[in-house]
């Protein structure tokens, strides 16, 4: 241990290597149900050279590495070691925005860049980033993008992994690599020299015939450690309008949702039940309870934006057509539901939530989530099934927050159940853990696809696909032959 600490200090400096009990405890557990295991060291990386040196040292000494880029708190167990003897590499100090290019609508950022930081920098350039639903303000943008967190714009993206593009990555075997345009021509390894030649890291494809960046998505740091990546951004809205379309059953909204997505209209489109709207908008538990009593059961939020060319005209035209779609389905667009206006919900949805008062924790102090991909026709079935499972175990169905997000032009639907609970109550904690574990199994049996598998969902999903799991293991053996990067998370 003493010798390893000395070698880590040579790489990172003594001030950036810690084995203090308090520092280790901060990474030993999170707010999920993951088993607590303390690492042996925490190191704070400042550049890619240090990361590469750490991975090579790990291969020599054979100790696990857990990459962490987002600020605390964490909620999914992916940053908690699954095995003893691990070293946490904290990438949050690598927080430079290396480039913002408005013409190409691209930015190059390090893993420590947070949503709060990134959106402010883009706003100064007249740009913004594709929003997720009120992310934690200390959340790493790259961690979110690499995990393919769904964007609020159902028509966003040219591929499922959008807006993720090119990367600099150190694989688990210690080799550093560049992908996409960053590796295809020009001075490889030097962003500045590529920019001087007007070469920008736009296309993620390659190098050669393999799209290496795809191996990093949804991998929870088990394949490689990314030290910068390019991401596609958008021009800021010059005009924006938004409204709700409500119904008493989620299934009554699906034809309308498909009509809108089918013609590629809307800049934001997602479905929330009243519990989730109340969670998002309420500032106190009492406010959340009051909102749940006044809100309709279900609402589609629709936003349309106009940018630099005829922004007002675009908004007006899309708004008129979308409202016509709603009327054809017997639905009525409204500007507010109860005391919640569409404009207020839009502002809350696109604003990073303070980590010390994360909106999902407001109601009871803690939450557990289950999320997966579904076909449009199955979303209502999964919602009914989740309600049935909750009723069987005694969890209040009215507390379940539901968020349904069409993704990639409506080709799939992200379904997320939020289960609030009081962490100070042993009874409630046990109840939610039982519900979580049971629902993960039963929803999978009904066809839920855990594309981003955490905790027990990883084992469930991988056990359903023996051929896929075998392929995943083989890839892991190629890029991380000693299994040192976040072991136990995906290749279990």
Query: The whole model's pTM is what?
Result: 0.95
pLDDT of residue 263 exceeding 80: yes
Q: What is the pLDDT of residues 153-183, one digit of tens each?
A: 887 666 789 999 999 999 999 999 999 999 9
CB of 230 closer than 8 Å to CB of 166: yes
Helix axis angle for 456-463 and 466-479, nearest 10°, is: 110
Helices (H), 169-310: 191-196, 254-262, 274-281, 285-294
Average pLDDT, the chain: 95
Three-point CA angle 37, 42, 46, nearest 5°: 145
pLDDT at 464: 87
Q: What is the pLDDT of residues 203-255, one digit of tens each?
A: 999 998 899 999 999 999 999 999 999 999 999 999 999 999 999 999 999 99
Domains and CATH numbers, the chain: 2-90 (3.30.43.10), 97-235 (3.30.465.10), 239-445 (3.40.462.10)
CB of 235 closer than 8 Å to CB of 105: yes
How far is it, in rounded angstroms, from Cα 396 to Cα 333?
30
Percent with pLDDT over 90 in the chain: 88
Helix (H, G, I), strand (E, B) or coil at 43: strand
Instruction: State the DSSP string of 209-233.
Output: T--GGGGTTTSTTSSEEEEEEEEE-
Q: What is the pLDDT of residues 25-60, one digit of tens each?
A: 999 999 999 999 999 999 999 999 999 999 999 999
Compute φ and ψ for 467, nearest 5 degrees: -65, -40
Q: Which of 226, 221, 225 is nearest to 491 (CA)?
A: 221
Residues sharing a CB contact under 8 Å with residue 307, sequence separation 6 or more, in sequence order: 235, 236, 237, 238, 314
| Residue 318 or 466, more confident | 318
CA dihedral 65, 175, 159, 129 (to 10 degrees): 70
Residues sharing a CB contact under 8 Å with residue 134, sequence separation 6 or more, in sequence order: 280, 348, 349, 350, 351, 352, 353, 359
Q: Is there a cis peptide before residue 38, judged by omega within 30 degrees of 0? A: no
Residues sharing a CB contact under 8 Å with residue 78, sequence separation 6 or more, in sequence order: 220, 221, 454, 486, 489
Helix (H, G, I), strand (E, B) or coil at 368: strand
């Amino acid at each position: 241990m003493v010798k390893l600490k000395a070698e880590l200090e040579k790489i990172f400096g003594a001030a950036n290597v810690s084995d203090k009990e308090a520092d280790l405890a901060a990474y030993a557990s999170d707010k999920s149900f993951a088993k607590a295991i303390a690492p042996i060291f925490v190191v704070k990386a400042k550049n890619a050279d240090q990361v590469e040196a750490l991975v090579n040292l790990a291969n020599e000494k054979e100790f696990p590495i857990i990459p962490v880029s987002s600020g605390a708190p964490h909620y999914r167990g992916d940053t908690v070691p699954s095995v003893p003897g691990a070293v946490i590499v904290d990438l949050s100090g690598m927080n430079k925005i290396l480039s913002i290019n408005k013409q190409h609508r691209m930015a190059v950022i390090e893993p420590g860049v947070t949503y709060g930081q990134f959106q402010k920098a883009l706003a100064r350039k007249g740009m913004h980033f594709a929003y997720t639903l009120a992310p934690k303000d200390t959340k790493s943008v790259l961690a979110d993008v690499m995990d393919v967190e769904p964007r609020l714009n159902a028509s966003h993206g040219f591929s499922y992994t959008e807006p993720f593009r090119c990367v600099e990555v150190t694989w688990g075997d210690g080799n550093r690599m560049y992908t996409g345009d960053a590796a295809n021509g020009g001075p490889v390894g030097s962003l500045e020299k590529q920019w001087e030649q007007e070469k920008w890291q736009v296309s993620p494809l390659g190098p050669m015939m393999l799209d290496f960046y795809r191996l990093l998505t949804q991998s929870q740091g088990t394949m490689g450690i990314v030290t910068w990546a390019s991401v596609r951004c958008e021009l800021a809205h010059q005009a924006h309008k938004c409204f709700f379309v409500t119904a008493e059953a989620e299934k009554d909204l699906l034809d309308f949702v498909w009509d809108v997505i089918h013609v590629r209209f809307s800049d934001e489109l997602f479905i929330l039940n009243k519990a989730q709207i109340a969670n998002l908008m309420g500032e106190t538990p009492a406010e959340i309870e009051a909102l749940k009593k006044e809100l309709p059961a279900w609402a589609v939020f629709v936003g349309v934006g106009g940018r630099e060319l005829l922004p007002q005209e675009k908004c007006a035209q899309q708004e008129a057509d979308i409202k016509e779609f709603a009327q054809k389905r017997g639905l009525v667009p409204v500007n507010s539901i109860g005391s919640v206006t569409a404009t207020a919900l839009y502002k809350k949805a696109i604003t990073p939530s303070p980590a010390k008062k994360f909106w999902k924790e407001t109601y009871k102090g803690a939450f557990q989530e289950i999320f997966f991909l579904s076909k449009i026709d199955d979303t209502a079935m999964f919602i009914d099934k989740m309600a049935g499972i909750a009723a069987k175990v005694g969890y209040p169905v009215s507390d379940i927050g539901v968020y349904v997000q069409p993704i990639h032009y409506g080709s799939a639907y992200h379904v997320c159940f939020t289960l609030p609970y009081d962490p100070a109550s042993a009874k409630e904690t046990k109840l939610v853990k039982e519900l979580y574990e049971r629902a993960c199994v039963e929803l999978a049996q009904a066809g839920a696809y855990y594309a981003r598998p955490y905790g027990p969902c990883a084992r469930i999903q991988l056990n359903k696909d023996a051929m896929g799991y075998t392929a995943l293991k083989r890839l892991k053996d190629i890029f991380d032959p000693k299994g040192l990067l976040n072991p136990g998370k995906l290749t279990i």
